[in-house]
Amino acid sequence: MKLTVQANGICIGCLSLDALSGLYAFDYSVEWLAKEQRFPLSPVLPLVRQSLSAEQHSAHVRQFFQNLLPEGQALDDAAQANKVSKSNLIGLLVALGRETAGALEISLDDSQALSTPLAAKRLLTREELSQRIRSRPDLAFSVWDGKVRLSIAGYQDKIALLEENGLWFLVDGGSLASTHLLKPDPIRSGLQHMTSNEFACMRLARAVGVAAADIRLEHIPDPVLLIRRFDRRITTEGIDRLHCIDGCQALGLGVSMKYERPYGDGRDVQHIRDGASLPKLFALFDRVSAQPTADRLALLRWTIFQTLIGNTDAHGKNLSFFIDAGGIRLAPAYDLLCCLIYSGDQISDTLSMAIGDNFDVLSLTPYDWALMAVECGLNARLVSRELKQMANKILKIWPELKVHLATANADDVTLKAIEATLNQQCQHALSIADNIPKVSKELL
């Protein structure tokens, strides 16, 4: 079984599965290797295959392409709609691969395809969208017109759409591509107004200097988020797709390893920390970044911001990287949430990636930050300075920003809950920041 992997009309390579051995392989095309601006899909899928065993290569390939698929209920819905097992990677890529995160378009190669899908664009009215949002308990939100409209990883309900002249379209095939992701509030009652939460945190990030995706909140009348895709670029000739991978793809980890403690927080397994982590991500920049100093600083600010807004779900798949011929660089932030306002049974209050050895965002100490600095190759004074500056910026900017968020009809109760968390986290950060460089190196 072979699939063609291309980007913007250029064949990058071939993904294959040997039915007898069960092994995957990916081979770059001669056309791609001949290009002056060629680049690998991921640091773990180099242009020249390393001296790995067939089994090791297969594992890297499978993990990379599995990370393109949705998760949770959306994966179940995709499998059911296409009548394939949710463990059937090739089958799901055939069904979902024409609109993935990043630049890649995946399809059957010409020798296997019975026909070439025609480009299609159909209007999605706000009335139809509102009805479908309310019908989610009985009808999968990711399936429209008998087709799955989602190949973006994550658990939240979302669809990809094209926005033109204020109108929204579902698109298929050809040169058509989505420009935005649309998210409604979750169905679970305890997570209502998450759209206001994410809207506020994303706007706050941009206001304090953390690069984040462009986002807006609309009511149709149901609240929905419109997130502009940073992996799409609108040109006079159409829409270019930009190659972009998530943290797990960059580190060569499977989707199940997106948390640093991939087996959970239980007593018997909490010491196993094989998943995505800050030391691994910072080390990645040392190896393959196009601008390591700038990227390391940007990642530090991303990390600090997560702790100050109380985002305990900032895991390895919640940050992404652009890749081109120059190397890898950090992409804008997304999925920023104040998770602490849902503490309890709704969302875990344990950090997805530790600060030092501490997974409790409410009890971070100078030692935790100093240990993180050592593990990630950062200067403790830099960490101290950035923590103070970010906390002060948030406290200064939030009151005026809150007014603008309310003008956009963000939920008032949610904004007040976020404000309480910001005040708590920022004041605590300011109380400990000066002591970070004072932690004895002998203790670290």
3-class state of residue 105 by DSSP: strand
Write down the catalytic residue from 185, 313, 335, 411. 313
Say how far apart CA 383 and CA 278 lie, in whole Å.
Answer: 14
Rounded CA Rg of the chain: 22
- Residues in CB range of 89: below 8 A, 6 or more apart: 17, 24, 62, 65, 66, 69
Structure tokens at 203: 């706007």
Residues 6 or more apart whose Cβ sits within 8 Å of residue 226? 163, 180, 181, 182, 215, 216, 217, 218
- For the stretch 82-89, contacts whose Cβ atoms lie closer than 8 Å and that sit 24 or more positions apart, written own/partner, are 82/148, 89/17, 89/24, 89/62, 89/65
Under 8 Å CB-to-CB from 426, ≥6 apart: which residues?
Answer: 308, 391, 392, 394, 395
Of 224, 228, 185, the closest CA to residue 332 belongs to 228
Amino acid identity of residue 3, one-letter, is L
Peptide bond into 221 cis (omega under 30): yes
User: Hey, is 74 helix, strand or coil?
Assistant: helix
Q: Is the CB of residue 3 less than 8 Å from the CB of residue 14?
A: yes
Q: Which residues pair with 104 in a beta bridge?
A: 7
Tokens of 366: 């100078």
Q: Could you tell me which residues come within 8 angstroms of residue 9 by beta carbon, excluding any fewer than 6 positions away?
A: none
CA quadruple 130, 132, 135, 140: dihedral, nearest 10: -150
Whether 231 sits among the annotated catalytic residues: the reply is no
In Å, the largest CA–CA distance within the chain is: 67
Joined together, the tokens standing for residue 282 give 């910072």
Sheet strands (E) in 198-349: 215-219, 223-228, 232-235, 238-241, 244-246, 320-324, 327-330
CB-based contacts of 107: which residues, under 8 Å, 6+ apart? Answer: 3, 4, 6, 94, 97, 98, 113, 117
- Single-letter amino acid, residue 62: R
Give how far Cα 76 sits from Cα of 84, 93, 238, Å. 10, 14, 33
In sequence order, what are the beta bridge partners of 14?
Answer: 4, 27
Residue 144: in which H helix or E strand, if any? strand 143-144
Active site residues: 313
